[in-house]
Amino acid sequence: MLVRETHLSTSQLIMPYFIQEGHGVKDEIPSMPGQFRFSIDQFLFELEEIEELGLGHILLFGIPGEKDAQATQAYHSNGIVQRTVREVKKRFSKLTVITDVCLCEYMSHGHCGVVKGEQVANDETLALLQKTALSHAESGADLVAPSDMMDGRIGAIRTYLDQHGYSELPILSYAAKYASSFYGPFREAAGSAPEFGDRKSYQMDSANVQEALREIELDLKEGADLIMVKPALAYLDVIRAAKDKFSIPLLAYNVSGEYAMVKAGASLGYFDECRAVTEILTSIVRAGARAVLTYHAKDVARWAKEPLGSKSIHT
Ligand code: PBG
């Protein structure tokens, strides 16, 4: 321990959650064993466990009851995320609540923006993202995390939040977000797979590192307070390059497909889950991430509480 170069601690982990309408709902997501879609009432029970395990940070995704072509539920004051944040902050005031700001879960066609013909209209989308971020802020979110990848979104959201009295609210930008096959299980969980086309016009090509650094630079100029690289595992070099170039807090998102892969392999007995997860998360931190968004967070916190010699993340 004394000379170890990299330390993984539960305080660096952020647990993502999917919240949906209804009552008494806790449905396991088939491609993400151990992950659930919760209704708000069930989610509050889940948070009691999270608090007991010592996890302090969550990221929220909403699954609305209705979707339309303007993503109305994304910025409605009584939308699923807005209500969830209010309930959570009432009861768990110390928990850091981050909200994902994107429209794809709320759009009937599953794209991240307003669609004109078969194109995503950047500037019209910005106006809706501004409203979405503000509605999250008004509900009590501690950080907003735009994941849509429209041009100019960080600046637009920053200006809008400032104008409405939220100049102190930090923005965590999904600055380097690649068009990735590893989002597959998420799209099943959130019902957000695009009906036509793909996200390649607004997410990055996996072959590019310099482009990621340019995207990050732009987001920082526009006012991002924290930046993220996503996915993590196939992009460790991007995390390292970003860490070396920028001094701002850097996060990485260990996404749904990365989680699903580990779960599948471990359930077949191909490797030990705890050791594999520890190795993967350590590599992401070693590459330069200060914090990691990961569906494994709860398991890691549980393992860390087990006595040394069994499944401890410290072994
Ligand atoms: C919304 C969004 C996605 C993820 C986070 N925010 C999906 C996507 O871009 O299709 C993926 C997270 C994961 O796979 O765990 N745009």
User: How far apart are the C-alpha atoms of 205 and 42, rounded to whole Å?
Assistant: 38
Query: Which homologous superfamily does the CATH classification assign to the domain defined by 8-314?
Result: Aldolase class I (3.20.20.70)
Mutational pocket test of ligand 1: of 102, 128, 200, the residue with most ligand atoms within 8 Å of the beta carbon = 102
Report the pLDDT value the prediction gives residue 1, as an integer from 0 to 100: 76
User: How far apart are the C-alpha atoms of 17 and 43, rounded to whole Å?
Assistant: 9
Dihedral sign from CA coordinates of 290, 104, 62, 224: positive
User: How far apart are the C-alpha atoms of 283 and 8, rounded to whole Å?
Assistant: 10
Q: Which of 137, 163, 157 is nearest to 223 (CA)?
A: 157
Q: Which of 50, 10, 15, 2 is nearest to 285 (CA)?
A: 10
What are the sequence ranges of the domains in the chain?
8-314
pLDDT at 314 over 60: no
Q: How far is the CA of 236 from the centre of ligand 1 (A)?
A: 18
Pairing of strands 119-120, 115-116: antiparallel
Q: Is residue 132 in contact with ligand 1, taking CB distance under 6 Å?
A: no
Q: Give the mean pLDDT of 68-93.
A: 97
Token pair listed for 149: 């990848």
Q: What is the pLDDT of residues 195-239, one digit of tens each?
A: 778 777 778 999 999 999 999 999 999 999 999 999 999 999 999
Write the CA distances from 289 to 13, 105, 138, 202, 299, integer angstroms. 11, 27, 29, 24, 20
Token pair listed for 282: 């350590």
User: How far apart are the C-alpha atoms of 230 and 236, rounded to whole Å?
Assistant: 10
Q: Give the mean pLDDT of 31-46.
A: 98
Model confidence band, residue 310 (pLDDT cutoffs 50, 70, 90): low
Q: Which of 1-5, 196-200, 279-283 is modeled with the greatest confidence?
A: 279-283
Q: Where are the alpha helices (DSSP H) in 140-209?
A: 153-163, 184-190
Report the pLDDT value the prediction gives residue 249, as an integer from 0 to 100: 95
Mutational pocket test of ligand 1: of 147, 188, 263, 295, the residue with most ligand atoms within 8 Å of the beta carbon = 147
Q: What is the pLDDT of residues 103-144, one digit of tens each?
A: 999 999 988 899 988 888 999 999 999 999 999 999 999 999
Report the pLDDT value the prediction gives residue 200, as an integer from 0 to 100: 75
Using the atom order of ligand 1, give the atom closest to the CA of residue 105: 1
Write the CA distances from 308 to 28, 154, 271, integer angstroms. 30, 44, 20
Report the pLDDT value the prediction gives residue 315, as an integer from 0 to 100: 41
* pTM for the predicted model, two decimal places: 0.95
Least confident of 4-8, 50-54, 166-170, 221-225: 4-8
Report the pLDDT value the prediction gives residue 150, as an integer from 0 to 100: 87
